[in-house]
Structure 1
């Protein structure tokens, strides 16, 4: 069980201590903002969550190429912030912003950064559709079908991701 208020209490204590002894753009300050964003997201306080995710992103951008980056998984956290903001914008029906943040997350993620722009676009629509399938099935179908349309243009018909699109189209109809 998550207890966001308790999480915020301890994250804020950590942030307060770190700000006394570290530069305000230290990577671990970014981690505090990231965790604060997550706690606010769990409380459905989305504007506050986005604010902290964006603060984390600003700090992370300064540390993406540090030798110590691997200790804190800054690149992964940087991408996660973008994904989390995309999730929030999707919940708020701001699909253009969600798409933009999701595309950025796919560009950062080590598993998807090698994809072409068109493949990322297809994946982005697919991810947004999957997120909406349980709550707004009509919009989910629109996104999954857009993903399928893109993927059919660039991949063989028997590609696994095309199969997933068909599967999740059926899922959205349930």
Structure 2
């Protein structure tokens, strides 16, 4: 339902009861702090989320062995907040701590490791270290390829991430290769008017635009617009963005 203020109210009531009934380092308090942190994330309040995630983590550090999976979750949560705040060096520090625990606890092709590699890749991308981002996105992708059927939507996300890094590296032809792989999966997996297909057309169109193939770019942007007009309200920012893109490409033709 997304009523985060109500959720926060009840989690805080629960916390007050637990704080009176339990010792200050009890694991149930860590769970309470973690729940409140997650609500603040959903409310977009990163600083409050960080405060409660750190309270949760301090309890877990004292209560659990250093390689316990709950600590990996805790490091990951804190890393995610720093990532949202744009503090990439701190995000990387905590994502790597989470990853070290997962590497020891899990088999090498476990899907949780793919998530971990993906998080690290995203931070490197944010830092502008595209070769590192590509390295970790590819590690994530190799795990997904082994674990998932070839037309699984998660593989489409993976191809898309790699395509975006190639865009950032200025390699449009490689970006196009991966964007098209992503699109082929989405076409099979989604209904024809799904907004994710519009995003996919848009990504491919922008790549053709970069390559100077304006007629291809225009054709794909028009496909994206047709989908968005069927699935979104007329004043939606995504429709405005694609309309602007169409005008921009037409001026260059």
Report deviation, 1:112.
Answer: 5.7
Instruction: Answer yes or no: is the 8 Å Cα contact 2:88–2:126 preserved in 1.
Output: no
Q: Measured at CA, do residues 88 and 140 of structure 1 come closer, stay the same or move farther in structure 2, by a change above 3 Å? A: farther
Residue of 87, 92, 96 corresponding to 1:50: 92
Residue of 147, 153, 161 corresponding to 2:178: 147
1:127 is matched with 161
Distance 2:177 2:128 in 1: 17
More helix per residue: 2
Instruction: Answer yes or no: is the 8 Å Cα contact 2:60–2:71 preserved in 1.
Output: yes
Report deviation, 1:63.
Answer: 1.6
1:33 is matched with 75
Q: 1:112-151 CA distances to partner (integer Å, 9 max, x unpaired)?
A: 6677xxxx9x986642334787xx6x837344235379x7
2:190 is matched with none
2:142 is matched with 107
Residue of 166, 184, 207 corresponding to 1:160: 184
* Structure 1 unmatched ranges of 5 or more: 66-74, 152-158
The one of the two structures with greater contact order (alpha-carbon pairs below 8 A, sep at least 6) is 1
Report deviation, 1:104.
Answer: 1.1
Higher radius of gyration, 1 or 2 = 2
Q: Measured at CA, do residues 40 and 81 of structure 1 come closer, stay the same or move farther in structure 2, by a change above 3 Å? A: same
Instruction: Answer yes or no: is the 8 Å Cα contact 1:89–1:98 preserved in 2.
Output: yes
- The answer to whether 1:8 aligns with 2:39 is no
The range that moved more, 24-33 or 78-87, is: 78-87
Q: Secondary structure at the match of 2:170?
A: helix
2:6 is matched with none
Distance 2:98 2:106 in 1: 12
Distance 1:144 1:17 in 2: 44
